[in-house]
Structure formats: structure tokens, C-alpha cells
Amino acid sequence: MSYLRQSIIDMAGYVPGFQPPDEKDWLKLNTNENPFPPSPRVLAAIQAATNGDLRKYPDATCRAGREAAAALYGYSDDWVILANGSDELLNNLIRASAGEGDEIGFLNPSYSYYATLAEIQGAKVRTFNFTDEREIVDFPDLYQGKLFFLTNPNAPLGLTWTVDEVANLSDRCAGLLVVDEAYADFSDGNCLDLVRLKQNVVVTRTLSKSYSLAGMRLGLAITRPEVIAALDKIRDHYNLDRLAQAAAVAALEDQGYLLNCVAQVCATRDWFREELAKRGYHVLPSGGNYVFASPPDRNGRRVYDSLYSRKILVRYFSDPALSHGLRISIGTREQMEVTLQALSEIG
């Protein structure tokens, strides 16, 4: 195995999150999945595409999907790419911009998977802390890393940088600024317009969260045509299968359904946050479909364990900077009432 990169041999590899074996007995509020099913039009499109044509290769360019996304976001087709989950885009953006030994940056905390992807590419990582007021600590006047990921809204904290703040940040990045808008549909604003205004901005989206299509692996990016062209060169040429392509088009075209689901989740989130505050919890304002909540005693582990024993699964992070709280995904109003009841009992 002398040909292997040392970085790969040394890698710990990805450790998947906990999935209970008897899933239906649990209330799962740990993976930020949408409590509502996908649009009925998506299911109809999948059913319609499930026929003998599955023997045929899919459209390698995913043209229908690109057209649907371009129309929705007001860009021309060559500013859009669809992918096998936004993870594929995050991975290929690193591969496109950072060579082995180059540096990329992101915030701490944010999506922990960036570090894994950097490690695969052999890129170095630099992380920056930030305050509850969204001030990024010690960020240089001009960050020289090849790429900077801004998860916006932030996961797991939910904090959301304004368009002006992101525009300012893009001016301070010498490389690409990738605004990972996995949860932006749950937020008041987004940075799509910045792509036109700023040369180095890439916006990525996923259909896993707001569109409830985590099982289909669909993500997309909006950026300048030259970056799209690079991503097209790098990607696996049949990266999206027939059913994923059919689902993407139907989902993006059914905005009425999306907006309705999102409105319900956001209303539940804002109500849940107030209820938690009444119980003495500190909860950051969230632009996502989750909240980060700290109990009065700042002992996240205790509350996590107590919820776990009641078969309610939330996300606890052992990282000392986060161990004072929990990330709780927003389910239906009924599910959150059950959760509040449990939290009241736990105290």
C-alpha cells in the first residue's frame, strides 16, 4: 500500500450519527429532517418515472433540473448545477479550488463534515470562532485561504448573517466564499442575489431539509458560469439518477407546498423558542428548522440523557463550546408539545 496518501491512512473516517434500531418508537429531533412529507407532486413524479425506463441511463446533464432551479431563482441555466446531495458540491468545491496542503476555512461551530471533506482532499483547515452577535473573531482583513464556508443560517446555532454582512465577508475573502444555505428556506433572507454582485460567492442549497427529500440526495449550487463549468468537469458524469432528477423538478416547481410547510415549521419554531424561554432556557434566535437551547444549569448532557430515556432523540455535542446546550429539530406542533412536556418534567 505504498502508493496511498498518508492522510488517508491516518484518517479516522466518518462516524455516522446515532440511528435507533426501532425507529418508530422514537421521537427523532436529532437530524433536522422536515416533519412533513415531500410534496404529493414529487411522489407522483417518482411513481411516474418508476417504470421500465429505469434500464436506461439518466440524462448526464440533468437539464430539466437545472432549468427548474434557474427559473425559480432567476438565473440563467449556466449559473446552476445539481448534485448528488449538497455534500457532493461541498466536496467538489474543495477539489476545484484547494490543492493538497492548501488552506480552507470555516466557522466553529458549523457543519462538521467540512473538516472530513478537507481531510479527504489533503487540505489544511483553519476555523474561526464567532460571538452571539455574529462577529467572527480574528478574521483577517483579507483571508488568504482558497475557500471559506459560511453555513448560513449557522448549524447548529441557528444564527443568520445578513446579506450585507455576507457581502462584507466576501470582500474579505481572497478565495471562494461558499454560502451553505442548507436551511435558508426557513430563514427570512438569503444570499442568492450576492452571486450576481460578487465574483467569489457560491450559494449551495439542499433539498434534504425544506423539501423533505433527504432520501433522494439532491443539492444545487448557484454561482458564476466559470465555477459551474469547473464543477461539471470534476463531477461523476452520471451523478444524478432518473428518480432523483424527476423528484428535483417536481419539488422545485411546487413552491406552494414548500412555502406552506416552511411557514408551519417556522411558526412552531418561534412558539417553541418562547416556551423554552419561559422555562428558563437560553435559546438563540434561529433561521433554521432547529433551535440551540441551553437549560438553566447549562448541562446539556443531563437533559439529553433524560430525553433519551423518554425516547426523545435530540442532538448533544460533547465539544466544550457546545456542551451547555442541545440542538433540537423542529417537528410538528404536537411533537414539540410532547417535547416541552418532557422538558418540564425533567426540569
Partner 1 sequence: MMAATDLVPRVENAAYVVDLANNENLMGPSPLAIEAIQREAAQVYRYPDIDGTPLLDALAEHYETETEHFMLGNGSNELIDLIARQWARPGTEVIVPSPSFLPYGSASQRAGAKIIRTGLRDWHFDLDAVVDMICEKTSLIILGNPNNPTGTEIDRGTLEHWLATIPEDILVVLDEAYAEYSSDQGLGLALLKQRENLIVLRTFSKAYGLAGLRIGYAIGSPDLIRIVQSQRQQFNVNRLAHTAALAALKDQDYLLRVLGNNVVFKRILYAGLSDLRIAHVPSFTNFILLYCGYALATSEALKTYRLLVKPLERFGLHEFIRVTIGPPETIERLLIALKEIQSEQSWFPVSECPVSVPKQPCSGEKLWRY
Which residues make up the interface to partner 1 (CB under 8 A)? Answer: 1-5, 8-9, 11, 13-14, 16, 31, 33-34, 36-38, 42-43, 46-47, 50-58, 84-85, 87-88, 91, 113, 117, 120, 208, 212-217, 234, 236-244, 247
Which DSSP string corresponds to 27-45? EE-SS---SSPPPHHHHHH
Q: To the nearest whole angstrom, how small is the minimum distance from the Cβ of residue 142 to partner 1?
A: 30
What is the SS3 assignment for 151? Answer: strand
CB of 166 to partner 1, least distance (A): 25
By C-beta, is 1 or 142 nearer to partner 1? 1
CB of 138 to partner 1, least distance (A): 30
Identify the DSSP state of 103.
E
In angstroms, the CA 110 to CA 335 distance is 26
For residue 161, give the amino acid letter.
W
Give me the least distance between CB of 325 and partner 1, in Å please: 24
Distance CA 100, CA 76 (A): 33
Which residue lies nearer to partner 1 by CB, 57 or 131? 57
Please name which of 52, 98, 44 lies closest in space to residue 253, comparing C-alpha atoms. Answer: 44
Least distance to partner 1, CB of residue 307, Å: 20
How far apart are the C-alpha atoms of 53 and 18, rounded to whole Å?
A: 36
Residue 95 C-beta: closest distance to partner 1, Å: 9
Nearer to partner 1, 245 or 339 (CB): 245
Distance CA 109, CA 159 (A): 11
For partner 1, the closer CB: 120 or 163: 120
Looking at beta carbons only, is 51 or 318 nearer to partner 1? Answer: 51
| Cis peptide bond prior to 109, omega within 30° of 0 | yes
CB of 52 to partner 1, least distance (A): 3
Angstrom distance (rounded) from CA 281 to CA 84: 38
Q: Indicate the residue among 100 and 297 with the shorter CB distance to partner 1.
A: 100
Phi then psi for 114, rounded to 5 degrees?
Answer: -55, -40
Name the minimum Å distance from CB 205 to partner 1. Answer: 16
Beta partners for residue 312, in sequence order: 27
State residue 113 phi and psi, 5-degree precision.
-70, -20
Nearest Cα neighbor of 107 from 130, 134, 132 is: 130
Report the distance separating Cα 47 and Cα 49, nearest Å: 5
Q: With respect to partner 1, which residue has the nearer C-beta, 18 or 311? A: 18
CA distance 285 to 309: 28
Q: Which is nearer to partner 1, 72 or 120 (CB)?
A: 120
Q: Can you tell me the distance from the alpha carbon of 113 to that of 116, in angstroms, rounded to the nearest whole number?
A: 5
